[in-house]
Structures are given as C-alpha cells and as structure tokens.
Amino acid sequence: MDARIPAHIEVSGFIRAVEAEGGFGTVLNKGERDAGTIMLVLIENGDNARIYERMPQLDGSRVWQCTRRQQTSPDFGESLTMRLAFSDYIETRGRQDPDLWIVELDVAKPERFIGLGV
C-alpha cells in the first residue's frame, strides 16, 4: 500500500513553509481531505504564474510537472485574454475533479518548495 501524507496536511505544510519565508499561500479550492490531489499555482511577486501538478510516471511514482504557464503580452487586450485563459484552466480543473485542492503560493523561487531547483 502506498503511504501518502493526507492532502490537507500537505497543503497546510506548503502554506506554512511559504509564509515562514515571507510569502503568501491560500487555498483556492478545497478538495478531498485525505486522498485529494493537489494542484499548485506558483507565483512570484504577483507575476510569472505557472501551474504544477503531480503526474504519474511509468514506474508508479508521481512527480511535479509544470502543466501551464501564464503568458504575458505587451498588448493589454491580448494580455488580459491570456490571463483569463489561465484562470479558466484553473476553474475548469476544479470543476472536473471535486477532490482537487488548488493552492496558490506567492513567494520568491516557489519551485524549491516542491523539490525543484528551477
């Protein structure tokens, strides 16, 4: 049997770790308390948003992978459209999976909190 940390404890740990580093963390969508999956929206100073989700690998492990990046454009209208598409993806994922936790973390170099030294 796969020993897994309950989702609500892992989410709480992410938020506490980020806040201890002077960042901000919040739950955008509360999923299933123990077995829910987690999607992280990582941001640096309110910009450069990207989404990380755990993806199953052939060996049965699950690793964090960037599934979306918020595109920015110098054109305000185009930039707004891109931001809305990014937000729509987050909302759609939340509707598709009622067990999904969606957590936003805004801190410098947020990938370090999921073991990625990007």
Q: What is the pLDDT of residue 46?
A: 84
75 versus 27: which is more confidently predicted? 27
The total domain count for the chain is: 1
Residue 1 lies in a domain: no
Q: Find the CATH number of the domain harbouring 11.
A: 3.40.1530.20
Residue 117 lies in a domain: no
Q: How far apart are the first and last CA of the chain?
A: 32
Per-residue pLDDT tens over the stretch 10-39: 999 999 999 999 999 999 999 999 989 999
Give the domain extent around 96.
7-111
What is the C-alpha to C-alpha distance for residues 62 and 49, in angstroms, rounded to an integer?
Answer: 22
Mean pLDDT value of segment 39-48: 92
Residue 34 lies in a domain: yes
- Whole-structure pTM value: 0.85
**Amino acid of residue 67:** T
Give the confidence band of 1 by pLDDT, cuts at 50, 70, 90.
very low
pLDDT for res 13: 96
Q: Quick one: pLDDT band at residue 73, thresholds 50, 70, 90? A: low
Q: Is residue 118 domain-resident?
A: no
Q: How far apart are CA 55 and CA 64, in angstroms?
A: 6
- Report the pLDDT value the prediction gives residue 55, as an integer from 0 to 100: 86
Give domain status of residue 63, yes or no: yes
Within a domain: 116: no
Residue 118 has what pLDDT? 57
Is 40 domain-assigned? yes
CA distances from 61 to 3, 11, 58, 87, 110 (A): 12, 19, 7, 28, 22
Average pLDDT over residues 54-82: 78
